[in-house]
A and B are shown apart, each in its own frame.
Chain A
């Protein structure tokens, strides 16, 4: 076999493997959307790939009318949006301080910041829950927002981005009499917009998909969030009577907007995952 032929064979093989893997990866997502158009009975018919007798939006319709789904959706959206806005503010502010100021005990405070990521959420699950009930935050929006608005990871991420901003810009602004707050708002923030975008996506996604915490602190059909709500649908009825059709419609509506968001913003997304983490 000539070198050229061997190269062509290799390239063909590469494409076959990549495309096959991609199809397998997308299969569950495609299946979810496909099943959302079937009735629950049809979902469990054999063979499973049979199309529905009638393509319909019935599942979506009954999901929006028969369940508290719209509430869940709005709750998830509102929590994720509020947390994201606060996270962007507090993390960029603290990241700014760590990147651009010299102050006493800075190193110790930074070690504490990084060290805080070593506390697994599971350790504090119970005391935090007890704390929430003592201060009457169970079923209160505060429990979904306040503890989560200044994550160490976000501060570290913003510090990495802000370090790249030239200090000369700040100096000349200071000489012109700009206050520190103004330097933050008018110089730093506009220049680290890519970093803020990355942090926004990661935060929004984390909040949108979070399960165990809202499961613990939110009670009542109209106050829970999407993942908890969908999991509730799965556990409400036992046996084959579970509303899998509606559940697939619900799952589709949870996943598709996030996937769309990811496709549009993937560059920022991936930058945020690798910054500071991998230095080669």
Chain B
């Protein structure tokens, strides 16, 4: 409606301004074209070439893809990334959901204080906090092992054991991302009518029953939305494992992510065509997830 009204005013003698909106939006399209669209197309094309960045690229058909899909390290990276994605879905999301319900309770004192506090990890620098976790995870003197050592138990080799190294990354990711998802759920909780809970209480539903019968079903769209955000984030994990494992893929590549794999092949080994093929796989995954997101929660919905 608003737009239509402006249009009418423009017809009434403001035609000189027809170019104005284009001028206003042009910076995005110029920068996007040069720095994002063109490199994307080049990346897709480059994935069919062998290139070290110095000599002429050589056309290699789908050789890069064939090599990648036969590479055990690639398979490990996909597997690890999938583990992080599943952990985010089945650990971080339920945790954030429960936390949001707790932080939404009217009986809780200083609600805003606690909400801010739980959100703090989101704003901290990944690099800084990962180095802190490196100390906390230290096998012999780290805080996480201290209780075990005091009890005379075998300390956990957090950063050196294939299984525990993954757990260490998942703890770190959980710590950093729970607060963000809690904010989304808190926003969603505001839209659930209070009467539903009151009616359920009168019918004698317990706290747990109300959670599963009212909260979860009512929040389903947001849970779905957050799930996709979480998956998109999981596919792109780089900073945490890269720094926690000092640039390596962890013990036996047990923490290596897809993006780390891309980074290693591209910048350490200068196999730019191959790395572009990895980038294309990441792109395809993100693209599909984003389409699902747009389909379910489309920003276009309000237009139609």
Contact = CB atoms under 8 A, between A and B. Distances in A.
Most buried by A among B21, B27, B180, B262: B21
Interface size classification for chain A = 35 or more
Contacts of A117: 290
B102 A14 contact: yes
B53 A48 contact: no
Tell me the dominant secondary structure on chain B's binding face: helix
22 contacts: A14-B107, A44-B140, A44-B141, A48-B141, A48-B146, A49-B146, A97-B21, A100-B2, A100-B3, A123-B280, A126-B279, A130-B42, A147-B31, A174-B9, A211-B126, A227-B126, A234-B243, A251-B131, A262-B116, A277-B184, A278-B222, A280-B221
Nearest to A46: B141
A116 interface: yes
Interface stretch (A27-35, A62-70, A191-199): A27-35
Contacts of B20: 97, 101, 180
B133 interface: yes
B267 to A, nearest CB: 7
A211 B3 contact: no
Nearest 4 Cβ contacts at the A-B interface: A251-B128, A280-B191, A127-B39, A97-B24
Contact of A262 (B123, B140, B149, B187): B123
B119 interface: yes
A251 to B, nearest CB: 3
B102 A17 contact: yes
A278 B198 CA distance: 25
Nearest to A230: B127
Interface stretch (B64-72, B84-92, B159-167, B294-302): B294-302
B103 to A, nearest CB: 7
A208 interface: yes
Given A235-B247, A274-B184, A31 B27 contact: no
Interface in B95-136: 99, 102-103, 105, 107-109, 114, 116-121, 123-129, 131-136
Contacts, number: 300
B282 interface: yes
A112 to B, nearest CB: 8
A126 B46 contact: yes
Interface of A: 10-11, 14-15, 17-18, 21-22, 25-29, 31-32, 35, 43-49, 90, 93-94, 96-103, 106-107, 109, 111-114, 116-128, 130-131, 146-147, 149-150, 152, 155-156, 163, 167, 170-171, 174, 180, 184, 205, 208-209, 211-212, 216, 226-228, 230-231, 234-235, 244, 247-248, 250-252, 254-255, 258-259, 261-263, 266, 270, 273-274, 276-280
A127 B99 contact: no
A126 B266 CA distance: 7
Contacts of B290: 117-118
B80 interface: no
B28 A118 contact: no
B199 to A, nearest CB: 17
B287 A167 contact: no
A266 B175 CA distance: 19
Interface string B242-257: 0100110000000000
A149 B39 CA distance: 17
Given A31-B136, A163-B2, A274-B184, A130 B286 contact: no
